[in-house]
Amino acid sequence: MKQRALLFLFVILIGLTASYLLLRDGKAPQLAFYPANGSVSANNPPTLTLTDTGTGLQNLVVTVSQEGKATELIDTTFPDGTTRHTVALPLAKLGLKDGPLVIDIATKDNALLANRTKQKLTVALDNRPPTISVLTTAHNMNQGGSGLVMFRVSEKVQRSGVQVGDRFFPAFPQQGEVFACLFAFPYDVKAGDFLPRLVAVDLAGNERISGINFHTRLKPLKSDRITISQGFLNEKMPDFQHFFPDTRDPLQLFLRVNGELRAANVAKLKEFAAKTAGKPLWQGAFLRLPNAAPKAGFNDQRDYYFNDKKIDHQTHLGQDLASLAASPVPAANSGTVVFADELGIYGQCVIIDHGLGLQSLYSHLSSINVAVGASVTKGQIIGRTGTTGMAGGDHLHFGILLNGIEVDPLEWLDQHWITDNFTDKRNSAMTTAK
Ligand SMILES: [Zn+2]
């Protein structure tokens, strides 16, 4: 009898051990702390994310200490089945001083023998936004044109640049804490709505927004009447059929290409902006296609007519230059090729990056003889003019992009403008900052 009872106990013990081994959760909870750069701000509280996909989270205790004084910030028990929890650390209520801070994090799961995770983080508490000192004084902006602002920041920043409406033009460090930012007075922004703001965000996430002294100059808009003939539609539209296979009527197809495809192509230009160099790769005025007649300008307001009826309206965002057919096209300035392919209405197209967000665009080419990644020098032949894309006759559509937005190319073709608005301003700001 006694033997049987012992055996029974033994079997139960084996059973319990087996189920423990089967059911146990061997993994401790995972911790993720953001920001991970060692700086935190009470105004932009850091977050802590816990995960435990095994038996789930049981509790969390967070203690904060500064100068030897420890305060419990969080002590929470989680409901059963909590596998993920994110919390913003409410540092603001502790009245801490800027400076070093130790954050102790302890959490455990619901396993029979609870798995514990502990972490001690030493971070810098920084509640002050960076100070911005603007080093350039005159910012004369033509509508559709470009401008340079140079500034110094008081501490390391994770993001800085100029905000214009919903567009952001990033700044690039030039030397030490001196930054350069090329920004635009975008062609589609009304003078009264143009308000550039300098923005700098430090590593802890504190943001400073400051004004820039600026002066705007408006340019009268030029109107242009474009007549679309049946011959043009017959000749040109088959090239675009594959973009809209369901639209068989040539005029309807033209309207979709001129509207939808144009908008998609213009949006695509923004993608190349991220591939810009942090320092200027160019020098001096940009080259214009030699021996070419201007055919259309930047920001021309185009009305399209078919059989004397107005069918469309678009803004032309470059300079059209016509020379002999298949004329060699020089790189307007030195830089790196970031695009060399077909691009919808632009046809065969090359984009060269010149640094600081500045890029030049060459389109409707009949041939391209540079590849993405190639370094080109000013004047180097990159292709030949043509009629690819939405072009009626052989010409070069030349554009200048600033962080993906088309700006007036004429400023960049003008040595005086570049000296006054870029070179002298940049050089003098770098000298002052030394
Ligand atoms: Zn054009």
Q: Is the pLDDT of residue 8 over 80?
A: no
Q: How far is the CA of 396 from the centre of ligand 1 (A)?
A: 7
Q: How far is the CA of 391 from the centre of ligand 1 (A)?
A: 8
Q: How far is the CA of 377 from the centre of ligand 1 (A)?
A: 24
pLDDT at 6: 77
> What's the whole-number mean pLDDT along residues 415-430?
95
For residue 238, the cross-strand partners are: none
Domains 27-125 and 132-219+422-433 share a fold: yes
Question: Could you tell me the residue ranges of all domains in the chain?
Answer: 27-125, 132-219+422-433, 223-403
Architecture per CATH, domain 27-125, reads as: Sandwich (2.60)
Q: How far is the CA of 316 from the centre of ligand 1 (A)?
A: 6
Q: Is the pLDDT of residue 22 over 60?
A: no
Q: How far is the CA of 361 from the centre of ligand 1 (A)?
A: 11
- What does DSSP assign to residue 44? S
> Is the peptide bond prior to 35 cis by the omega test (within 30 degrees of 0)?
yes
Q: How far is the CA of 69 from the centre of ligand 1 (A)?
A: 68
**AA identity, residue 263:** A
DSSP labels, 339-397: EEEE-GGG-EEEEEEEETTEEEEEEEESEE---TT-EE-TT-EEEE-B-TTT-SSSBEE
Which top CATH class is 223-403?
Answer: mainly beta
Report d(CA 196, CA 72) in Å as an integer: 44
Q: How confident is the model at residue 19 (pLDDT cuts 50, 70, 90)?
A: low
Q: Is the pLDDT of residue 329 over 80?
A: yes
Architecture per CATH, domain 132-219+422-433, reads as: Sandwich (2.60)
HSE, side-chain direction, 13 A CA sphere, residue 289: 30
> What's the whole-number mean pLDDT along residues 143-163?
96
pLDDT at 432: 78
Q: Is the pLDDT of residue 147 over 60?
A: yes
pLDDT at 12: 76
Query: Rounded to 5 degrees, what are φ and ψ at 200?
Result: -140, 130
Q: How far is the CA of 182 from the centre of ligand 1 (A)?
A: 24
Q: Is 206 helix (H, G, I), strand (E, B) or coil?
A: coil
Q: How far is the CA of 239 from the centre of ligand 1 (A)?
A: 18
* Percentage of the chain modeled with pLDDT above 70: 97
Q: Which of 135, 207, 139, 199 is nearest to 166 (CA)?
A: 199
Q: How far is the CA of 141 from the centre of ligand 1 (A)?
A: 23
Residue 45 tokens read as 């509280």
Q: How far is the CA of 44 from the centre of ligand 1 (A)?
A: 46
